Amino acid sequence: MELLLHHNQDRDMLEAAFSLAVRAHAGYIAQLLVQHGADPGECGPDALVPLGEAVDCGSPGLVEALLDHRLLGRYSTAELREARELARRWREAGAEAELRRRTGCEEAPVRARVRDDEYCTVGELALGGMTVRDGHGAILTRLEELLGIRASFEELMARALEHDQDHSAWWASTSLLGNRREEETWAAALALRTHPDPAHRLFGAGVLRLVQLFDDSEADAFAAPALELFVPWAAEEADLAVLIEVLIALGEHADARAATALLAHAGHPDARVRHAVANGLGTWPEPSALAEKVREALLVLMDDGDPTVRREACRTVGWGRDRTPVLTEAMAALLDDADRRVQLVAVEGLALHHDDRCVEAARRLGPPRPGFSDEETCLGTAWRYKWRRDGR
């Protein structure tokens, strides 16, 4: 889908496709079309579903497509408030209970987990010929943001904790709180660090990470407190999901203390933790006093038994500033990896290190597979290196 969009820039087609995607309640596809040039503002009112219908559908991705800044002027404050009230009723009743009420069916609905946008998933329920998604909490959060209604920390946390970390409601709450960038939010999230429930600690860690990440002020007031918090937390946290979130947060700090804390988990038995370490070490500037330890860890991670870890470690080396020959040779060894995705990242890394071996390796891999935009990126880096090398 993305490959087709990348090569097709017919504006009329893009707007028609956007309208079709919205009418089909395919919010994820509608958002992809916007990212590739579709202008929702060119779609007439009759070409799109009403906002209330999108809220009923329960897809945050669909609602977000209709709330594009080029469409916002079409909605009155009263209409937005009505949509907010509808989302609130769905969320408070629960998607399953409201679905039963509307269909009159008592049997259990058919459930599935579906991708709703580029990053998040939601639950989908089908019953009595009606299908809805359970993203009403995320929709409610978005509409309140537009209306200037300030939901409390506790309310936003409750919406998130009704679901897991991959659900749209979790991201809607944590990102909204992170964007507040205020001491009150920081203190509320910090208080969750010692909560006995790992889900609460995970939510707190996520909010704290985003408060610091979204702080774009010159003072960067939350950077030092975040580092002081996450370094000891990484050493103490027993829950796997929370530990990974903390390590991701540490990876956003180019600091020796963060690198040291990450290195302590480089040999963790869970591949997801090692992946977080491999990714986080990429923020550490080279050269440094820790350069040798970081290098040794990345060499081990590039030889990891899990392909996702090898790939992430190779990407970190490729984009890093440490051009030590032993790292370049380790990337070259991955050109023969059993996993094509690892080979692709090795090709990209060698191109970034100005190593000619990337050209032949890219030729052997052939053209990018349709629908794999990352393949096009990796191979494109190699071919651009070749063009520069050949003076074209």
Segment 174-226, tens digit of pLDDT: 999 999 999 999 999 999 999 999 999 999 999 999 999 998 776 678 888 99
- The pLDDT tens digits of the residues spanning 328-337 come to 999 999 999 9
pTM over 0.75: yes
pLDDT class of 286 with cuts at 50, 70, 90: low
Residue 258 — pLDDT band, cuts 50, 70, 90?
Answer: very high
> What are the pLDDT digits (tens) for 92-129?
999 999 999 999 998 999 999 999 988 899 999 999 99
Residue 3 has pLDDT above 70, yes or no: no
pLDDT in tens, 229-250: 999 999 999 999 999 999 999 9
Whether 284 shows a pLDDT value over 70: the answer reads no
pLDDT of residue 288: 65
Residue 17's pLDDT is: 84
pLDDT, average across residues 135-159: 97
Rounded to the nearest integer, the mean pLDDT of the chain is: 92
pLDDT higher than threshold 60 for residue 4: no
pLDDT at 178: 96
Residue 309 has pLDDT above 90, yes or no: yes
User: What is the per-residue pLDDT for 287?
Assistant: 52
Q: Summarize pLDDT for 42-98 with one digit per residue, the tens.
A: 888 888 888 999 999 999 999 999 999 998 999 999 999 999 999 999 999 999 999
Give pLDDT tens digits for 24-37: 888 888 888 888 78
pLDDT score at 43? 85
Per-residue pLDDT for 314 more than 80?
yes
Secondary structure in 3-state letters for the chain: CHHHHHCCCCHHHHHHHHHHHHHCCCHHHHHHHHHCCCCHHHCCHHHCCCHHHHHHHCCHHHHHHHCCCCCHHHCCHHHHHHHHHHHHHHHHHCHHHHHHHHHCCCCCCEEEEEECCCCCEEEEEEECCEEEECCHHHHHHHHHHHHCCCCCHHHHHHHHHCCCCCEHHHHHHHHHHHHHCCHHHHHHHHHHHHCCCHHHHHHHHHHHHHHHHCCCCCCCCCHHHHHHHHHHHHHHCCCHHHHHHHHHHHCCCCCHHHHHHHHCCCCCCCHHHHHHHHHHHHHCCCCCCCHHHHHHHHHHHCCCCCHHHHHHHHHHHHHCCCCCHHHHHHHHHHHHCCCHHHHHHHHHHHHHCCCCHHHHHHHHHCCCCCCCHHHHHHHHHHHHHHHHHCCC
Q: Is 60 exceeded by the pLDDT of residue 20?
A: yes
